[in-house]
Amino acid sequence: MTNTLLILPGDGIGPEVMAEVTRIIDWFGARRGLKFGVSEDLVGGAAYDVHGVPLADATMARAQQVDAVLLGAVGGPKYDSLDFSVKPERGLLRLRKEMDLFANLRPAQCFDALADFSSLKRDVVSGLDIMIVRELTSGVYFGEPRGIFEENGQRVGINTQRYTESEIDRVARAAFELARKRGNKVCSMEKANVMESGILWREVVQAVHDADYPDVELSHMYADAGGMQLCRWPKQFDVIVTDNLFGDLLSDVAAMLTGSLGMLPSASLGAPRANGRPKALYEPVHGSAPDIAGQGKANPCACILSFAMALRYSFDQGDEATRLEQAVEKVLADGVRTADLMQAEGATPVSTRGMGDAILAALDASL
């Protein structure tokens, strides 16, 4: 069976890090017999330069058909003056919305070799392995009404936090299912003390748990307290499930616990198709980093680890995903470092391509 992938390198460092992922994909085809039908297209500023929009309709249609989409990064100062409707980021938001990718999985894993890169003490972050499940297609980023309006002679900015029971239900189920494969523990975060949407969120998550997942340990926490606890003792958590806005904030807090944004992958998953595979988009958490684009300084690990997530969640290749993750871990333990990780003494500096070479060598050694 051929697995179909649409690669969208995007802008800035996106094409550089995605080039290393392509080499990894080719390795799995040649050495592990995993066949991928790979196509490539444009998104973000790269798409705007060619089509005048950040995502062409034909590209959107292709994304709906493939097993998984791999995206690099979008945006850059070149596009700052564009109208909001055609900014590069709108291409990514369209993919998420039209593919109905409601569950954003953001792991925060601290490799032992990088524990000293965190701003927290080693004993607080060493061995950290948590997963934040962020609701991605509703909430304050999409609620109506929204906009900037005139009211009583002054401008007013409005965004609306809105959730339905079904939207909360499905992301809660995604979190509970994931927890069953990990530490069997979920913490749901909201602001039920001051927001009606938070009250509904807590009630629905609790109801889903009581009806179908009583075996999973469930706790509730206000999102601001959750941010504090992530900085105090993050290893108390396994899976955190939360809404779109709080998930955006909390996942960035969790990201910095690990020491580098260049190490963090993500997956955005939708409902299963007829073949049982979910619609899926995989991307690194980092941005397009236009200041280092084209210089060979970018860390490709987050994008490579995003492909590992694709192996696990889209292609049912958990063992091969682990193989790739362990190859990355070995390379880091051996002291191989891109520019963002060059704080340690005795590290071996490598380019983006050099990091890809090292990971491919570790994959060869795993056979």
Residues 197 and 270 both lie in one domain = no
Question: Among the three residues 204, 230, 257, which one is the final residue of a domain in this structure?
Answer: 257
Residues 133 and 244 both lie in one domain = yes
Q: Is residue 280 one of the residues assigned to a domain?
A: yes
Nearest-10 crossing angle of helices 352-365, 318-333: 120
Q: What total of structural domains would you count in the chain?
A: 2
Q: How many CA atoms lie within 13 A of 229 on its CB side?
A: 15
Is 85 annotated to bind a ligand? Reply is yes
Pick the catalytic residue from 11, 238, 248, 340: 248
**pLDDT tens-place string over residues 146-158:** 999 999 999 999 9
**pLDDT tens-place string over residues 224-268:** 999 999 999 999 999 999 999 999 999 988 888 887 777 889 999
Is 96 annotated to bind a ligand? Reply is yes
**Is 248 labeled as catalytic in the residue annotation?**
yes
Averaged pLDDT score across all residues of the chain = 94
Please, is 291 exposed, middle or buried when counting C-beta atoms within 10 Å of its C-beta (0-12, 13-18, 19+)?
exposed
- State the pLDDT confidence band at 344, using cuts at 50, 70 and 90: low
Pick the catalytic residue from 169, 224, 334, 357: 224
Q: Is residue 119 one of the residues assigned to a domain?
A: no
**Is 191 labeled as catalytic in the residue annotation?**
yes
**This model's pTM is above 0.85:** yes
Residues 227 and 330 both lie in one domain = no
Residues 327 and 236 both lie in one domain = no
Which residue range is the domain that position 189 belongs to?
129-257
Residues 100 and 147 both lie in one domain = no
The pLDDT of residue 223 is 98
**Is 224 labeled as catalytic in the residue annotation?**
yes
Residue 150 is part of a domain; what is its CATH number?
A: 3.40.718.10
**pLDDT tens-place string over residues 13-70:** 999 999 999 999 999 999 999 999 999 999 999 999 999 999 999 999 999 999 999 9
Pick the catalytic residue from 48, 141, 282, 313: 141
Q: How many CA atoms lie within 13 A of 294 on its CB side?
A: 4
Q: Is residue 359 one of the residues assigned to a domain?
A: yes
Q: Which residues are CB-neighbours of 358 under 8 A, at least 6 positions away? A: 331, 334, 336, 350
Find the helix or strand (DSSP H, E) in which 71 lies: strand 68-73
Residues 178 and 70 both lie in one domain = no
**pLDDT tens-place string over residues 94-113:** 999 899 999 999 999 988 88
Is 351 annotated to bind a ligand? Reply is no
The pLDDT of residue 1 is 67
The pLDDT of residue 87 is 96
